[in-house]
Amino acid sequence: MTQEINQDQFETEVLAADLPVVLDFFSTECPPCEALAPKFSSLEEAFTGRVKFLKVFRQGNRALAEKLNVTGSPTLLFFRQGVEIGGRLSGEIKKSEIKAALEALLN
């Protein structure tokens, strides 16, 4: 199961992470978030040991969402060595889009 972090854990879990990180900002009662969850979980299994998968509850971490300019849910951000890289994904996200972004993150 994907680890959920809060804004206080962001620096250690994301910015100081040894592995590349994909960060999922989600909301409750959000159909696109619910649709994303099983895709996120299956890709987490496929990329175990190569990419760290984390979730952040957007409404509970408004300061972090604002700092990162995350305005909707779900929004996926990709980090390598503490720097956001690549394009963000948001809204109705396809599994193939996430997989392509993860592969780019690893190259």
Active-site option among 33, 36, 51, 102: 33
Is 90 a catalytic site residue?
no
CA distance 18 to 29: 33
Is 33 a catalytic site residue?
yes
Active-site option among 2, 7, 17, 30: 30
* Number of other CB atoms surrounding residue 41 within 10 Å: 13
Q: How do strand 89-90 and strand 75-80 relate by DSSP bridges?
A: antiparallel
Both tokens of residue 2?
Answer: 């994907």
CA distance 70 to 88: 10
CA distance 36 to 40: 6
Active site residues: 30, 33
